[in-house]
Amino acid sequence: MSEHILLRHRDIPNIKDLAVYQAHGGFEAFRKAVTEMQPDEVTDEVKKSGLRGRGGAGFPTGLKWAFMDKRNWPHYVIANGDESEPGTFKDREIMEENPFQFLEGVAIASYAVGAHRAYVYLRGEFWHVAKWLDQKIAEMEAAGLLGDNIFGTDYSLRIYTHLGAGAYICGEETALMESLEGKRGQPRLRPPFPPTYGLYGKPTVINNVETLTNVPMIIANGADWYHTFGTEKSPGVKIFSLSGRVNKPGNYELPLGTTFRELIYEHGGGIIGGKKIKAIMPAGASSSLLPATDEVLDTPMDYESVPKVGGMLGSASVIVLDETVSIAWLVKKTTNFFREESCGKCTPCREGTYWMERLTERIASGQGTPRDVETLYAVAKQIQGKTFCPLGEFSTMAVVTGIERFREDFDAAVKER
Amino acid sequence: MSSLAEKYPDEVKAILAKYPPEHKRSAVMPLLYLAQRDGGGYITKAAMEDVAQIVGISVSDVAAVVGFYSLYHDKPAGKYRIQVCTDVACALRGADKFVEELCDNLGIKIGETTPDGLVTVEEVKCLAACNHAPVFQVQTPDGLTYHQDMDIKATLELIEQWRKKSS
Ligand SMILES: Cc1cc2nc3c(=O)[nH]c(=O)nc-3n(C[C@H](O)[C@H](O)[C@H](O)COP(=O)(O)O)c2cc1C
Ligand code: SF4
Ligand code: FES
């Protein structure tokens, strides 16, 4: 796409400077919302746009905002900038290169739900991003875009950054809130969901960074305009983080519904060394493994189509595996990740990831037996449906689909001894 | 013992101001970063007591937070912690080999510190820079920096610069 909607820094140099951002219409959507629209009208427009959460679950954003409990105040908005799913690196580019559009999105969301305080939760590794956003927030305050009496109205808003300290689970919305409250980041039981019971027990909207970055453009141009991109049920654009065995890894902003083939071969420049593609992980380490058949390669990347070929769009972090990669090795990597990142709250995940890691290590190192493969499959299956939060489920996806769809790699690994 | 609040009154105040006054506990994490900086890269028991007192929770609650998150340390290590991502996407682009060669060059194993106490090499999970493998972050008492698209030569040069700066 020549004109970006989210990665606009690629079209407009120095959009990270406030003056440049404003010269390109920056904060006009926030002004329009605050001075011309009722909060509910803003929510309605976002609802009509069909925008769905870009953090993984794809939940309709406007609907989430409309769920906010109006009998319980204050309300909070949280931007989820934890970005820890292996293979995902889009939110970081947005915040580093187009920070004001993201912050404007936070501000509009806050106005829509009547929040006067918003937090940007960043993974601890984004230490430099936190400093950078603090600086951008200070510039907004100095320009009267945050603080009291914004645009001469009685609306007031303050945005704060909060740094995590290295824990994947804090990307899960309720664990994130625990963390922001100064506790260990362990998930809460849901329901109640955050729009009823969120930060400090108050109604809270939590949205992914990319989700929020769409909002100023939707308010500025209207819901109908947004529908000119993407598919009917998955409107708009998405940033695909492409990584693994491709020639040109990177972020690509494309309409939802673009095929895997176009992303990997046209934008990503194909496979390193002209090798044969073997499998795709469409949603990072939490993904099912999709065999790279023609059917899969021609599948549109949107929320409805990817499940039809046995996967999920998730955060759209597309990791590409070529013929040189053994799936037995790959699941050793993913189970190691989940064992490390399991928060330890529930037994199936805590113990299950430990056993899966031991088994996958043994198998991948050539020390395993065919029995180990059976046991690994059984352990993964036993974890499914029994964990407190989705992380436990995520940990089994590559294992189960790996054994089911790439059995020959496991057979080869346990025969080689 | 001089407390964080006495040593860094402005910073402590600014941290507390980020959260509603009745939810001071939220300041635990930023205060722990301050304590870690003050402690030269790790958090002592005394510092945890100090943080506990500022936010009004027990020391064991603070210790639980320190233990939960991987970027807080309760033991000293090298002045520069090189944390290399060897997670899935980077491993597909040679990260395992990179960390092995780096350790060989430094004569240490993963998790160890060079004898002069300058560098510790650690493996970490995805840093959200998968398109820039090999990538590592360097954690020092003062914060974190990313180093992307690295090779062994550039990394050893970087370490040499630190060595000169520290001697
Ligand atoms: C284990 C786990 C990790 C998650 N990590 C992230 C993350 O890093 N960033 C993110 O935005 N959402 C993450 N999510 C999804 C959030 O819980 C939540 O659905 C999302 O922030 C909602 O925002 P959205 O509707 O805009 O997508 C994660 C969920 C789970 C279960
Ligand atoms: S499934 Fe795993 S991460 Fe989730 S609560 Fe249980 S132990 Fe924690
Ligand atoms: S896998 Fe290494 S930065 Fe993402």
- pTM, to two decimals: 0.97
**In this predicted complex, what is the ipTM?**
0.97
Query: How many CB atoms are closer than 10 A to CB A379?
Result: 21
**Measuring CA to CA, how many Å separate A301 from each of A246, B89, B140, B155?**
18, 20, 41, 38
B6/A306 Cα distance (integer angstroms): 56
Closest by Cα among A63, A74, A107, A104 to A199? A74
CB-based burial of residue B82 (10 Å sphere; 0-12 exposed, 13-18 middle, 19+ buried)?
Answer: buried
What's A262's DSSP letter? I
A237 contacts A230 by C-beta, under 8 angstroms: yes
A94 contacts A224 by C-beta, under 8 angstroms: no
Q: Is A175 in the pocket of ligand 2 (CB under 6 A)?
A: no
Give yes or no for B14 touching A (CB within 8 A).
Answer: no
Helices A209-221 and A90-97 sit at what angle, rounded to 10 degrees? 60
What are the backbone angles phi and psi of residue A36, rounded to the nearest 5°? -120, -15
Query: DSSP assignment of A300-351, as one string?
Result: B-STTHHHHTT---TT-EEEEEETT--HHHHHHHHHHHHHHH--SSSHHHHH
From chain B, the residues in CB contact with A334 under 8 A are 88
Q: Is B99 in the pocket of ligand 3 (CB under 6 A)?
A: no
What is the three-class DSSP state of A354? Answer: helix
Q: Is B129 in the pocket of ligand 3 (CB under 6 A)?
A: yes
Ligand 2 atom with least separation from CA of A393:
1
Cite the beta strand spans of B10-135 per DSSP E: 80-85, 119-124
Ligand nearest to the CA of A164: 1
Task: State whether B92 and A325 contact (CB < 8 Å).
Answer: yes
Whether the bond into A192 is cis, omega within 30 of 0: yes
* DSSP H or E stretch at residue A89: none
Sequence-distant (6+) residues with CB within 8 A of B167 are none
- Per-residue pLDDT for chain A (417 aa), expressed as one digit of tens each? 469 999 999 999 999 999 999 999 999 999 999 999 999 999 999 999 999 999 999 999 999 999 999 999 999 999 999 999 999 999 999 999 999 999 999 999 999 999 999 999 999 999 999 999 999 999 999 999 999 999 999 999 999 999 999 999 999 999 999 999 999 999 999 999 999 999 999 999 999 999 999 999 999 999 999 999 999 999 999 999 999 999 999 999 999 999 999 999 999 999 999 999 999 999 999 999 999 999 999 999 999 999 999 999 999 999 999 999 999 999 999 999 999 999 999 999 999 999 999 999 999 999 999 999 999 999 999 999 999 999 999 999 999 999 999 999 999 999 855
Helix, strand, coil abundance in chain A, percent, nearest 5: 50, 15, 35
CB pairs under 8 A between A and B: 136
Query: How many CB atoms are closer than 10 A to CB A372?
Result: 18
**Measuring CA to CA, how many Å separate A30 from each of A79, A101, A110, A227, A398?**
17, 10, 10, 21, 42
What are the backbone angles phi and psi of residue A353, rounded to the nearest 5°? -65, -35
Cite the beta strand spans of A164-316 per DSSP E: 204-208, 237-244, 250-255, 277-281, 290-291
Query: How many CB atoms are closer than 10 A to CB A131?
Result: 12
What are the backbone angles phi and psi of residue A70, rounded to the nearest 5°? -85, 5
What residues pair up with A239 in beta bridges, in sequence order? Answer: A253
In whole angstroms, what separates CA A225 from the centre of its chain? 24
